[in-house]
Amino acid sequence: MQLLIPSPTQSSISIGPITVYFYALCIIIGIATAIWVGRKRYASLGGNPDDVSEVAIWAVPFGIIGGRIYHVITSPEQYFGSNGNLIDALRIWQGGLGIWGAISLGVFGVYLYFKTHKTSLKISQLLDCLAPGVVLAQAIGRIGNYFNQELFGRPTSLPWGLEIDPAKRPAGYESFETFHPTFLYELIWCVFVAYLIIKLPGRVRKWVSRDGDVFALYILGYTLGRLWIEGLRIDEANLIVGLRLNIWVSLVVIIASFAYLVRSKGRGNAKEKADAS
């Protein structure tokens, strides 16, 4: 079978004494994209785009630390115990940033900035402006997973199967050559979510009438896709009642974000009735 997605030949490039890891490069490009999109959208609301650049100085480090902490906590066997190496927890360029930790601590960094600085718009408006760029950054970051040959799915004979080097195949899957390219599935889904929340078609717009709703819609939209993609993955993960931990987290996040949007819509309807009376 002719492979549509061959395995990458290298995950880094050396320029003199400097080694550039493609995973880290994808993360940097993703961050730059998120800031650029956020500045454009923030300015369109009448805000000072420099707020976005300055808040990134707080949010990005918090997000990276949060993402790494979540990954290490949910994959402890790689770092603790007889077969683990704690120093590997610091090697972020090798991959391993959990999105839930990154978003949680990243938003906390945004909150700290707004509590200590004067800004031109509200924090909820900033989060709405950041949402499309953040999900595009996630899409770009998934390209880094391709170069690291990680986070792929179950074996498949589909023409877009991803070739994985024997050394990268999980135990029990050594005889399989091609796997679901879950990095590509999530990349495509993230781009779709970004398009959705930028364009906001009529049926969606009625759910995002209040500040902060677009960010909640991003969380809901991304997580719906992550739920089924997570079900395809075969990398090591902690299980709870037979399901991967990230599936349970996805379910909780889906319920919470949907409940937030429903409650927000209810508050918006109540305000409209009060204004009309």
Element (H, E) at 267: helix 245-276
Q: Quick count: other Cβ atoms within 10 Å of Cβ 86?
A: 11
| pTM (predicted TM-score) | 0.88
- 120 lies in a domain? yes
pLDDT for the residue 267: 66
- 228 lies in a domain? yes
- 3 lies in a domain? no
**Spatial distance between the Cα atoms of 227 and 257, rounded to a whole number of angstroms:** 14
Q: Cα–Cα–Cα angle for 191, 148, 225, nearest 5°?
A: 30
Residue count of the chain, please give it: 277
- 96 lies in a domain? yes
- 31 lies in a domain? yes
Domain residue limits at 213: 12-276
- 110 lies in a domain? yes
- 6 lies in a domain? no
- 189 lies in a domain? yes
**Spatial distance between the Cα atoms of 71 and 239, rounded to a whole number of angstroms:** 14
| Number of structural domains in the chain | 1
Per-residue pLDDT of the chain (277 residues; tens, 9 = 90+): 555 789 888 888 988 888 889 999 999 999 999 999 999 999 999 999 999 999 999 999 999 999 888 888 877 777 776 666 777 777 777 667 788 899 999 999 999 999 999 999 999 999 999 999 999 999 999 999 999 998 899 999 999 999 999 999 988 999 999 999 999 999 999 999 999 999 876 667 777 778 999 999 999 999 999 999 999 998 877 788 888 888 999 999 999 999 999 998 776 554 544 444 4
Q: Which backbone phi and psi does 83 adopt, to 5 degrees?
A: -100, 5
